[in-house]
Structure formats: structure tokens, C-alpha cells
Amino acid sequence: MAMLLREALGDSLRRVRTQQGRTLREVSTGARVSLGYLSEVERGQKEASSELLAAICDALDVEIADLLLEVGSAMRPAGAEPVVVGAEPIGDATVVESAEAGLTATKVVIPAPAGRRDATALAAA
């Protein structure tokens, strides 16, 4: 069975905390979450909300994006290569590829429906 996201997140959070030599109590206090709940998140028993994950990362002084990149790599099956898609249209969507620091990121840009474009422009103004 494939590793679950909550298990990979918990493993990474615990690894960062222990590398820093910090206790569950220290991090739970900094993140303003109960010690028991943080322990369950680290053990992969609880699914952390994005708000909770941001608070834990803040308490650990790590970027949430860096944590998620590590988790994504840990979840990739052994020997599997990332799928790289060029900048080519897919229907009305466009796939944009970028590479930074040896990582390849793919973003799919889907235009708003015709009736919603004015609303999008107003919201951006």
C-alpha cells in the first residue's frame, strides 16, 4: 500500500523537530496546539489542516513549501521519474514548466469561463 500523505507529513515533521533537538512540548507550545494532537500528527494518525500545518512549520522555523517538496519526494515510488510536461495547450488550459534549483515544477493554467473574465479582472484591479 502506498504511503498516505498524513504519514509522510508526520514523518517529515518529526524528522525536522528531532534534528533541531526540540521536544514535542516546545513545538506544540510554539504552534499553539495540544501536545497530544501534535503527537498524533507526527505519527500520521491525524490529518493536519493547512492552518495547523502552517503553525507547526512556523514553530519549527521551516517553510511549508520546503516541507511539502520533501514530502512529495518521499511519496514518489522508488525509481519513478517525475512527469515533465512542456508548455503546450490542453484544451483551453496551458501547461507551464519551470525549473529551479534542480526541481521541475509544472503548473496548469485554466482560463476563467467567458462570463467570469470581467469579474476576475475587477477582482484583480
Contacts of 19 (CB under 8 A, 6+ apart): none
The one-letter code for the residue type at 97 is E
Rounded CA-CA distance 106/123 in Å is 25
pLDDT of residue 119: 46
Question: Residue 116: which residues within 8 A CB-CB, separation 6 or more?
Answer: none
Mean pLDDT by 10 residues, the chain (125 residues): 87 95 96 96 95 96 92 80 56 52 54 53 44
The conformation of residue 115, written as its DSSP 8-state character, comes to G
How many CB atoms are located within 10 Å of the residue 7 CB?
A: 17
- Say what the pLDDT of residue 76 is: 80
pTM: 0.64
What are the domain boundaries of the chain?
5-75, 89-124
As a residue count, the chain comes to 125
pLDDT at residue 115, as a whole number: 57
Q: Which CATH class is domain 5-75?
A: mainly alpha
- Predicted confidence at residue 72, as pLDDT, reads 86
